[in-house]
Chain A
């Protein structure tokens, strides 16, 4: 009981602490930029409704960047934790298994065909369609509880295919700039995003989060295996539908507006798992918050680093995440022996 009480207290404190860190990082994100901005004046003008230049920069450039960073980070973190809970494998993550690049392909198809110029919603829907197709392919091919190696190999295949198809689509796009823009789609960036992007994806992401969060008790039960989970009253097909749908909504719309930012859903759940007693259900929201912090912090790093032209966000997360993945694979191999 003492132990349980201790763990319970820890979880109770964890979420508010993470939330506080998000606020601090977001505030820092508003304060950092490319040009000196008189923040106090900008805030005052913004609140008063005066459309001065500093207020404009704050509301139209810095605010969407911070908001989108938090939203995208939350989506990627939660989706990573959800996939790991479902597949019972700590290496499952939208980037590693190829869902993010498939989402990028869907978004590219919607954007460069001109479809999203007519119907703005076509952009995130394209991303969602891509993410959904990849997730379905994964589950049809692998089933649940697939071995780590099978999972990674499937991810390599999906990533290669989606990357090549994206390059092809950009090559065929009528605009000569298009062929150079692949770096954005495959490496991700928060630069030059606007509030219209935020409004475009917010409802879709929210729906995705709610769907994924609703699977928390089922994921906990799944730790004991599929039969036991079913015997505890959980419908596995409905669980799969909610999880796949939720992850596709969240990841698909995130990638559609910021490109594919990888490794967030791998690193964050792994770091936070011990803090929630290794319970997959509790990890969902915690990973979302942690993901928001990671992306905001990485975006701060991108703007503060004295590298020009500016580093892509996905580069920073990959520099952190890829060694992490290596270390994780090594540890899993050792444990298996």
Chain B
């Protein structure tokens, strides 16, 4: 007993980790029962695909309905702040994280034998489908995964039918003056909604900042504002309420989309496309 107490914290986790590895190898085909997610976007997929009883914890960010799409369900589950001690205390059999989750956390978890499965950010809808399938397989819910993808495809087809003859020119404005350019998921969202992304024309790759002057002079017909309504104040959000934007909204068709619809590349992206299509319909 005394010897165990003198061991450093990480080493004390070895028996736990050994147990986990054994459990993982012996339960290769059994679905995980204690899932911990360390990233807001993986949270969403996990919450959609797995039964609540099997989810041990998701991040605190997913519990805010302003930022997350599955907040109601998320609040019924324990919240974590991405800290290694919290993760280990939950005794997970599956940990999922984002590609941008803190490296220190991920490395430490690997060292104690609880290797997190990492999910990157899909750059288009095809990659998004692949990711859904991958997560579904990991969770042992392949059927639900396929159902989700089927639903997505159905809605996409329906939306495709409502696309305009002539694509409208649009520009996206996000907090801090960021816009989305070529080769990003949002770019595809715009295309699917029958819009031309001016930022892509201006040569912006993926995410980049665009000065308000350029937004005003870009010759757009639709202004897509990505905002968190009633959010706490920050300079980043102030930019979106600049008088020039308000004045522009009188000239262009403004569409305000809540950030949560496309912060994560998940099925709510289709909601975003739907809102875009609905908003731009009457102007045709």
Pairing of A with B:
yes
Known: A112-B233, A175-B233, A184-B235. A54 touches B217 (CB 8 A): yes
Instruction: List A contacts of B242 (CB < 8 A).
Output: 60, 192, 194
Contact between B213 and A112 (Cβ–Cβ < 8 Å)? no
Tell whether B89 is near chain A: CB-to-CB under 8 Å: no
Contact between A177 and B213 (Cβ–Cβ < 8 Å)? no
Chain A, residues 48-77, CB within 8 Å of chain B (1/0): the string is: 000101101100111000000000000000
Contact between A181 and B243 (Cβ–Cβ < 8 Å)? no
Instruction: List A contacts of B25 (CB < 8 A).
Output: none
Instruction: List A contacts of B214 (CB < 8 A).
Output: 34-35
Interface of chain B, helix or strand or loop or mixed?
helix
- Interface residue ranges of B203-253 to A (CB < 8 Å): 209, 211-214, 216-217, 231-239, 242-244, 247-248, 251
- Specify which of B211, B217, B233 is in contact with A117 (CB 8 Å cutoff): B233
C-alpha spacing A56/B250, complex, angstroms: 12
Instruction: List A contacts of B233 (CB < 8 A).
Output: 111-112, 114, 116-117, 175
Instruction: List B contacts of A53 (CB < 8 A).
Output: 216-217, 251
Instruction: List B contacts of A35 (CB < 8 A).
Output: 211, 213-214, 216-217
How close is B155's CB to chain A, nearest CB, in angstroms?
A: 30
Contact between A181 and B244 (Cβ–Cβ < 8 Å)? no
Tell whether B31 is near chain A: CB-to-CB under 8 Å: no
Tell whether B82 is near chain A: CB-to-CB under 8 Å: no
Tell whether A274 is near chain B: CB-to-CB under 8 Å: no
Instruction: List A contacts of B176 (CB < 8 A).
Output: 177
Instruction: List B contacts of A60 (CB < 8 A).
Output: 242-244, 247
How close is B100's CB to chain A, nearest CB, in angstroms?
A: 14
Interface size, A (range): 20 to 34
C-alpha spacing A61/B214, complex, angstroms: 11
Known: A37-B217, A56-B216, A61-B213. A175 touches B247 (CB 8 A): no
How close is B128's CB to chain A, nearest CB, in angstroms?
A: 24
Tell whether B175 is near chain A: CB-to-CB under 8 Å: yes
Tell whether B177 is near chain A: CB-to-CB under 8 Å: yes
Known: A56-B244, A177-B176. A61 touches B237 (CB 8 A): no
Contact between A112 and B251 (Cβ–Cβ < 8 Å)? no
- Specify which of A34, A57, A112, A309 is in contact with B232 (CB 8 Å cutoff): A112
Instruction: List B contacts of A111 (CB < 8 A).
Output: 233
- Interface residue ranges of A293-332 to B (CB < 8 Å): 309
- Specify which of A61, A173, A196 is in contact with B212 (CB 8 Å cutoff): A61
Contact between A194 and B211 (Cβ–Cβ < 8 Å)? no
How close is B201's CB to chain A, nearest CB, in angstroms?
A: 14
- The closest CB in chain B to the CB of A173 belongs to B232
C-alpha spacing A114/B175, complex, angstroms: 17
How close is B177's CB to chain A, nearest CB, in angstroms?
A: 7
- Interface residue ranges of A21-35 to B (CB < 8 Å): 33-35
Contact between A34 and B213 (Cβ–Cβ < 8 Å)? yes
Instruction: List B contacts of A177 (CB < 8 A).
Output: 175-176, 234-237
Instruction: List A contacts of B209 (CB < 8 A).
Output: 309
Tell whether A178 is near chain B: CB-to-CB under 8 Å: yes
Contact between B212 and A192 (Cβ–Cβ < 8 Å)? yes
Chain A, residues 199-235, CB within 8 Å of chain B (1/0): the string is: 0000000000000000000000000000000000000
C-alpha spacing A112/B237, complex, angstroms: 12
How close is B207's CB to chain A, nearest CB, in angstroms?
A: 13
Instruction: List A contacts of B239 (CB < 8 A).
Output: 192
C-alpha spacing A53/B221, complex, angstroms: 12
Chain A, residues 153-186, CB within 8 Å of chain B (1/0): the string is: 0000000000000000000011101100100100
C-alpha spacing A116/B241, complex, angstroms: 14
Tell whether A195 is near chain B: CB-to-CB under 8 Å: yes
- The closest CB in chain A to the CB of B217 belongs to A35
Chain B, residues 244-266, CB within 8 Å of chain A (1/0): the string is: 10011001000000000000000
Instruction: List B contacts of A57 (CB < 8 A).
Output: 213, 216-217, 244
- The closest CB in chain A to the CB of B228 belongs to A175
How close is B250's CB to chain A, nearest CB, in angstroms?
A: 8
Contact between B243 and A195 (Cβ–Cβ < 8 Å)? yes
- Interface residue ranges of A84-143 to B (CB < 8 Å): 111-112, 114, 116-117
How close is B88's CB to chain A, nearest CB, in angstroms?
A: 26
Contact between A112 and B217 (Cβ–Cβ < 8 Å)? no
Chain A, residues 269-309, CB within 8 Å of chain B (1/0): the string is: 00000000000000000000000000000000000000001
Instruction: List A contacts of B232 (CB < 8 A).
Output: 112, 114, 173-175, 178
C-alpha spacing A191/B211, complex, angstroms: 9
How close is A122's CB to chain B, nearest CB, in angstroms?
A: 11
Contact between A178 and B247 (Cβ–Cβ < 8 Å)? no
C-alpha spacing A114/B234, complex, angstroms: 9
Closest 3 CB pairs of A and B: A34-B211, A60-B244, A174-B232
11 contacts between A and B (CB under 8 A): A34-B213, A34-B214, A35-B211, A54-B217, A56-B247, A57-B217, A60-B244, A175-B237, A178-B232, A195-B243, A309-B209
Report which A residues bind B (CB closer than 8 A): 33-37, 51, 53-54, 56-57, 60-62, 111-112, 114, 116-117, 173-175, 177-178, 181, 184, 191-192, 194-196, 309
